[in-house]
């Protein structure tokens, strides 16, 4: 009765206030990013979107791995750092044995899985022993595991496990793994960009596909809810809003694609040629490709008087400077020359674009499809598992351990399973992260994963007891937007881009602090004793 | 005669030699509503714990005697096994998850699932929930109870009455439910909600379910039950057909003890007509002991008893006035209004408090006896302190001297005044609490549950001590206790609290039936005893 009355009051009089309080962290971040756009005129949309896209694909998996423990009542699992170390161990192992490509990736995923199951089991055991203090326990367990990790990587490798000192992974004195290890590019049979470069599509295409897929999912969900007799879950207003947003994004993507000058395609073709140029390339084939491109450019130049001089200059560059010099000896110089020409054509394309938006969107970097599919897969997995008996048990345990126990649910086991799943996913998330960076910073890549992922999830509107896929994705976007904007804001406000680092630290720990404070404040409010 | 569903045969239980159940023979028939009544500590909960196989029974050596269900001997080891044996319980504090829908609560850990591709490989736990079937089942259970509420409503925010019904719906949704226990089901309900509930209970009994109905409200028992069993001090007093008895008789059986009460008398006592403490409209938010508007007057030199069943609010009064729980209302002490929710000021005004929560509030368990005795006086009156070079320092010599006098006066059995209070026996701990209160030199003292957890010999000592304080120093005492007998031995009058309000005032020599009826808050008490109203009235 008490609870009901309170809810009603909040709903009637303090609706907006309580909504603001519930979403204060998200609101602060949205304002921060908007503020950044307002005060800094020179931040280019294409740069912003490219960076954001890269970071989104790099970090989402890690943030998503936090959801299940939150739902199972374990709070924010700072212990994902342990999972990340498992992932890095797998990568180091693959690098040592020179594994790469598809098989190397599979090897990493399997090794990381096995290590993470083991570590997750023990972390879960620890969480069961430190009930109510799981977050602190996770944080400390992460530090402890880091110690063990360093002991293994700095000492055991070389002293106990014999390794050749000449291996590029090993320090010159033969003991320990190097601080930074460059991964072998996937073209040369390594792990660098192994997932990233599997299949890439332009940003606008990805935008269109995502919008359409989201639309289909929305309709399927609506239909399924109806068919399952859960029609009450369909809220017409939010459904309509979501459909409208999807349609808006899709039509924008279609418009950009239709309006974009063909020159963008030409420019990216040139870039592709340059990036694929190496000693083994078939130079004659490249030459004929370049000739085809020149005729394409000439055709466009004939129709557009404004940019015709630029394009003609580019054509003559290709014909006079590039093709004659395309010999193995001058490869490096030619490659950079091709890049320069491509950027010239790009500039021409921007000039000829109907508006700024189109040119901005066309310049965003390409999108790694394989990573995207993995992230979408994890989103679907997370939502599906919550529809199973196990997922319902997670929720029961998360809401009340006591009632779950009395109802006969094995609470300890359920919590351990949740921790294991989270740790395994974090390991895989770190694999994606490292292959996307291309270098393994052996002793630092994992250290801040826990803090940053937790902060991102909280920014998305999650709390220590409530989290969803939506929170994770939205949070990752917002949090990384803040990361990209902070140098610009520092530059415009104080004339020092270096302030960005302080901004970031302030925001990360501030967010976690505010979220934890709010959590305790709400819990106290709920438990406050009142005079009847 | 209908068949017997459940039978307790010569069931006894002791906790480390302390007998709490003795040779209980008790049976429940199919379709019967069997009321189980008794004072706090009479053994009702222990009997139910035996029935549900609670861990507390098995970790303390199990029980003697047999429990038979449908004539077969069973040995229930856990609440989960009890569920499978067809025994259900509607808890007093709800076992509901607020963030779940009604269906999810009804089906908790009994979810209906459908196999899918993954579950065929990785096991049953990954089967998909069949929400349609679950909702249908929940609907059926709710319909049985005539509840129109939608099964997919969230439980958070529902009225208490609805929550109770959801608990019942969960029990009847379990297949093969035979026996349903209602533990104080109406304690938290409004009158109309209680009425609905009793109707539902009747309907369930007509379905052939045997119902054990535990309640303090005798009028409800008379209203709904077929038979009634009275427990007192771990023994079964009687089992009667309700139609052969009445509330007065049941109340008498519930309270009545064979021991006679010895009143202590003294000529030296002085009770003045001055009102020392006057309380108006006191409301206290003490969880589980809510006080909902109490008026009270205490004269100088009196010993007042506050009685009532557990959970009715008697403990809230002293805690509210002392400020340990949030309180509202007007309290006038010695003609001056007391500020509420300010323990410091209340103590400073000359009121001392011996808390019922000896180990939580009453004592610093890891500190010495002498520090415990001096502590409040040091905090409030700056006693036992002296200044030295700008620092305030404890005056150890004074503390020691005073503590040793108290130890001698109150006969606290200890090795030395430096012994930690945590290692003392219950009776001696209580004496330390009293010593601490006396050190403040109060004019007025609240004593809550002074003899809880204390052996019989020590009980007498504590009561004698309180009486002596009143007799020799004229100290006014308000004593809150669950044990009627001890209040009847020293108090001038006894206020009975029921449902957070004053049910009435009785003299110590009022009859057992009067006490029983008043404590159970029976609404029929006006029907008979006229003598009751004569003695009442503040």
Q: What is the ipTM of this complex?
A: 0.77
**Any B CB within 8 A of A327 CB:** no
Tokens of A266: 């030409």
**Any A CB within 8 A of B529 CB:** no
Partners of A466 in the β-ladder? A463
In angstroms, the CA B454 to CA A3 distance is: 39
Task: Give the residue among B45, B150, B39, B168 at the shortest CA–CA distance from B95.
Answer: B168
Alpha carbon distances (Å) from B387 to A163, B383, B392, B402, B484: 71, 12, 5, 19, 48
A230 to B152: CB separation less than 8 angstroms, yes or no: yes
Tokens of A272: 């592709």
Of A8, A232, A392, the CB nearest to B129: A392
d(CA B264, nearest CA chain A) in Å? 38
pLDDT for A377: 94
d(CA B116, nearest CA chain A) in Å? 10
Residues A230-273: tens digit of each pLDDT: 777 778 888 899 999 999 999 998 988 887 777 777 877 787 77
Interface test with B, best of A407, A466, A527, A530 (most B CBs within 10 A): A407
In angstroms, the CA A531 to CA B320 distance is: 10
In chain A, what residues touch B284 (CB-CB under 8 Å)? 531
Helix ranges restricted to H, A228-307: 236-259, 263-276, 283-303
Tokens of B430: 């209580």
**Any A CB within 8 A of B93 CB:** no
d(CA B284, nearest CA chain A) in Å? 5
In angstroms, the CA A68 to CA A83 distance is: 14
Partners of B181 in the β-ladder? B89, B212
Contact A80, A422 (CB under 8 A): yes
Instruction: Answer yes or no: is pLDDT of A6 > 70.
Output: no
**Any B CB within 8 A of A387 CB:** yes
pLDDT for A8: 43
Please state whether B75 falls in left (phi above 0), alpha (psi between -120 and 50) or beta.
Answer: beta
B98 to A3: CB separation less than 8 angstroms, yes or no: yes
Pairing of strands B493-498, B303-307: parallel
Q: What is the average pLDDT score of chain A?
A: 86
B113 to A388: CB separation less than 8 angstroms, yes or no: yes
Sort A103 into a burial class: Cβ within 10 Å, 0-12 / 13-18 / 19+: exposed
Tokens of B12: 């006894």
One DSSP character per residue, B410-449 reads HT---S-TTSBGGGS-HHHHHHHHHHHHHHT--SEEEEES
Please state whether A193 falls in left (phi above 0), alpha (psi between -120 and 50) or beta.
Answer: left
Identify the H or E element spanning A509.
helix A500-527
Instruction: Answer yes or no: is pLDDT of A3 > 50.
Output: no
Residues B137-196: tens digit of each pLDDT: 999 999 888 888 888 888 888 888 888 889 889 988 887 888 999 988 887 777 788 888
**Any B CB within 8 A of A196 CB:** no
Helix then strand count (H, E) for chain A reads 24, 4
In the block, tokens 């990340």 appear at A84
Confidence of residue A78 (pLDDT cuts 50, 70, 90): very high
Tokens of A210: 């995502």
Of A8, A399, A409, the CB nearest to B99: A399
In chain B, what residues touch A403 (CB-CB under 8 Å)? 95-97, 108
**Any B CB within 8 A of A403 CB:** yes
Partners of B227 in the β-ladder? B34, B241
Interface test with A, best of B104, B109, B121 (most A CBs within 10 A): B109
In angstroms, the CA A175 to CA A154 distance is: 7
In angstroms, the CA A491 to CA A274 distance is: 34
Compute the average pLDDT of residues A509-525: 82
Task: Give the residue among A26, A14, A67, A30 at the shortest CA–CA distance from A469.
Answer: A67
A392 to B159: CB separation less than 8 angstroms, yes or no: no
Of A3, A387, A407, the CB nearest to B156: A3
| pLDDT per residue of chain B (538 residues) written in tens, 0 to 9 | 457 889 999 999 888 777 888 889 989 998 899 999 887 778 888 888 899 888 888 888 888 899 998 888 888 888 888 888 888 888 777 789 988 999 999 999 889 998 888 888 888 888 888 888 999 999 999 988 888 888 888 888 888 888 888 988 998 888 788 899 998 888 777 778 888 889 889 988 998 889 999 988 888 888 899 999 998 888 888 898 988 888 888 888 887 765 556 677 777 788 888 899 999 999 998 888 889 999 999 999 999 999 988 888 899 999 999 999 999 999 999 999 999 999 999 999 999 999 998 888 889 999 999 999 999 999 888 888 888 888 889 899 999 999 999 999 888 888 889 999 988 888 889 899 999 999 988 999 999 998 887 777 778 888 888 999 899 888 999 999 988 888 888 999 999 998 889 999 999 888 888 888 888 876 544 444 444 444 433 3
The total of other beta-carbon atoms located within 10 Å of residue A325's CB is: 13
Confidence of residue A11 (pLDDT cuts 50, 70, 90): very low
Interface test with A, best of B157, B159, B282 (most A CBs within 10 A): B157
Compute the average pLDDT of residues A191-212: 86
In angstroms, the CA A123 to CA A80 distance is: 10
B124 to A399: CB separation less than 8 angstroms, yes or no: no
Interfacial A residues in 114-133 facing B (CB < 8 Å): none
Residues with Cβ within 8 Å of residue B198, at least 6 apart in sequence: B186, B220, B223, B224
Tokens of A479: 């949090």
Of B83, B97, B285, the CB nearest to A532: B285
Q: Which of A98-112, A489-503, B337-351 has the lowest mean pLDDT?
A: A489-503
**Any A CB within 8 A of B80 CB:** yes
User: In terms of CA atoms, which chain A residue is nearest residue B113?
Assistant: A389
User: In terms of CA atoms, which chain B residue is nearest residue A231?
Assistant: B152
Identify the H or E element spanning B266.
none
User: Which residue did the predictor score with more confidence, A423 or B232?
Assistant: A423
């Amino acid at each position: 009765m008490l609870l009901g009355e309170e809810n009603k009051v909040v709903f009637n009089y303090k609706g907006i206030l309580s909504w603001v309080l519930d979403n204060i962290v998200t609101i602060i971040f949205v304002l921060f990013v908007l503020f950044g756009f307002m005060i800094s005129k020179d931040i280019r949309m294409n740069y912003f979107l490219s960076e954001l896209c890269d970071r989104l694909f790099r970090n989402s998996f890690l943030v998503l791995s936090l959801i299940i423990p939150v739902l199972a009542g374990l709070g924010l699992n700072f212990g994902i750092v342990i999972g990340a170390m498992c992932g890095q161990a797998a990568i180091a192992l693959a690098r040592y044995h020179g594994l790469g490509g598809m098989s190397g990736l599979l090897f990493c995923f399997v090794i990381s899985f096995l290590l993470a199951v083991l570590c997750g089991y023990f972390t879960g055991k620890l969480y069961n022993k430190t009930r109510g203090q799981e977050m602190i326990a996770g944080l400390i367990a992460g530090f402890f595991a880091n110690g063990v990790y360093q002991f293994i990587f700095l000492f055991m490798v070389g002293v106990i496990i014999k390794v050749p000192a000449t291996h590029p992974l090993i320090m010159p004195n033969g003991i320990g793994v190097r601080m930074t290890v460059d991964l072998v590019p996937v073209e040369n049979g390594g792990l660098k960009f192994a997932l990233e470069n599997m299949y890439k599509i332009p940003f606008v295409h990805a935008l269109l596909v995502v919008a359409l897929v989201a639309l289909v999912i929305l309709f399927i969900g609506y239909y399924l809810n109806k068919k399952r007799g859960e029609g009450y879950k369909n809220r017409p207003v939010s459904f309509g809003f979501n459909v409208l947003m999807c349609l808006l994004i899709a039509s924008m993507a279609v418009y950009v694609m239709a309006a974009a000058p063909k020159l963008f395609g030409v420019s990216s073709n040139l870039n592709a040629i340059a990036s694929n140029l190496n000693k083994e390339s078939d130079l004659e084939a490249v030459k004929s490709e370049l000739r085809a491109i020149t005729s394409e450019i000439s055709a466009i130049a004939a129709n557009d008087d404004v940019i015709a001089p630029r394009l003609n200059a580019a054509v003559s560059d290709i014909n006079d400077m590039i093709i004659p010099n395309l010999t193995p000896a001058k490869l490096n110089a030619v490659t950079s020359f091709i890049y320069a020409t491509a950027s010239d054509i790009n500039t021409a394309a921007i000039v000829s674009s109907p508006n700024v938006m189109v040119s901005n969107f066309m310049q965003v970097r390409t999108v790694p499809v394989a990573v995207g599919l993995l992230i979408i897969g994890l989103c679907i997995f997370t939502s599906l598992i919550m529809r199973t008996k196990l997922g319902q048990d997670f929720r029961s345990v998360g809401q009340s351990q006591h009632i779950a126990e009395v109802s006969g649910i094995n609470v300890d086991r359920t919590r351990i399973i949740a921790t294991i799943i989270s740790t395994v996913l974090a390991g895989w998330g770190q694999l994606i992260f490292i292959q996307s960076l291309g270098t393994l910073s052996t002793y630092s890549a994992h250290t801040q994963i826990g803090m940053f992922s937790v902060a991102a999830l909280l920014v998305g509107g999650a709390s220590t007891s409530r989290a969803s896929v939506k929170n994770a994705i939205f949070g990752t976007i917002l949090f990384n937007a803040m990361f990209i904007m902070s140098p610009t804001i520092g530059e415009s406000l104080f004339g020092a881009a270096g302030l960005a680092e302080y901004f970031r630290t302030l925001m990360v720990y501030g967010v976690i602090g505010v979220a934890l404070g709010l959590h305790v404040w709400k819990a106290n409010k709920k438990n406050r004793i009142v005079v009847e | 005669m209908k068949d017997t569903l459940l039978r307790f045969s010569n069931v006894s239980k002791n906790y480390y030699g302390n007998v709490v159940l003795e040779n209980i023979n008790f049976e429940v028939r199919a379709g019967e509503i069997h009321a189980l009544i008794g004072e706090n500590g009479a053994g009702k909960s222990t009997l139910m714990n035996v029935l549900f196989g609670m861990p507390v029974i098995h970790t303390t050596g199990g029980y003697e005697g047999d429990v038979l269900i449908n004539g077969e001997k069973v040995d229930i080891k856990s609440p989960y096994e009890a569920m499978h044996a067809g025994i259900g319980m509607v808890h007093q504090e709800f076992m509901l998850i607020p963030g779940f829908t009604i269906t999810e609560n009804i089906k908790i850990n009994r979810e209906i699932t459908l196999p899918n591709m993954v579950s065929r490989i990785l096991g049953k736990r990954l089967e998909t929930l069949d929400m349609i079937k679950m909702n249908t089942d929940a609907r059926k259970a709710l319909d049985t109870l005539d509840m129109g509420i939608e099964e997919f409503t969230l439980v958070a925010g529902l009225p208490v009455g609805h929550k109770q019904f959801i608990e019942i719906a969960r029990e009847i949704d379990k297949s093969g439910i035979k026996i349903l226990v209602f533990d104080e089901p109406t304690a938290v309900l409004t009158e109309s909600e209680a009425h609905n509930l009793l109707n539902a209970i009747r309907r369930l009994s007509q379905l052939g379910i045997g119902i054990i109905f535990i309640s303090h409200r005798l009028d409800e028992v008379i209203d709904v039950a077929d038979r009634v069993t009275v427990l007192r001090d771990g023994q079964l007093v009687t089992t009667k057909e309700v139609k052969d008895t009445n509330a007065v008789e049941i109340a008498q059986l519930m309270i009545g003890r064979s021991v006679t009460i010895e009143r202590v008398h003294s000529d030296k006592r002085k009770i003045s007509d001055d009102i020392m403490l006057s309380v108006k409209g006191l409301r206290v938010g003490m969880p589980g002991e809510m006080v909902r508007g109490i008026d009270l007057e205490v004269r100088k030199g009196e010993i007042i008893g506050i009685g009532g069943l557990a959970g009715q609010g008697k403990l809230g009064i002293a805690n509210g006035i002392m400020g340990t729980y949030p309180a509202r209302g007007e309290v006038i002490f010695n003609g001056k209004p007391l500020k509420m929710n300010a323990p410091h000021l209340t103590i400073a005004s000359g009121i001392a408090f011996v808390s019922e929560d000896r180990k939580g509030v009453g004592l610093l368990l890891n500190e010495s006896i002498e520090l415990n005795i001096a502590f409040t006086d040091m905090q409030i009156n700056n006693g036992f302190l002296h200044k030295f070079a700008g620092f305030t320092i404890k005056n150890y010599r004074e503390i020691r001297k005073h503590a040793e006098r108290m130890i001698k006066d109150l006969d606290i059995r200890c090795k030395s005044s430096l012994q930690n209070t945590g290692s003392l026996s219950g009776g001696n701990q209580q004496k330390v609490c009293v010593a601490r209160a006396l050190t403040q030199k109060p004019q007025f003292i609240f004593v809550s549950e002074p003899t809880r957890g204390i052996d019989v010999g020590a009980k007498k000592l504590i009561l004698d001590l309180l009486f002596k304080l009143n007799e020799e120093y004229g100290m006014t005492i308000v004593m809150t206790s669950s044990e009627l007998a001890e209040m009847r031995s020293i108090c001038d009058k006894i206020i009975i609290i029921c449902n957070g309000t004053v049910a009435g005032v009785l003299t110590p020599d009022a009859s057992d039936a009067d006490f029983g009826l008043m404590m159970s808050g029976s609404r029929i008490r006006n029907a008979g005893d006229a003598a009751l109203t004569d003695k009442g009235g503040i």
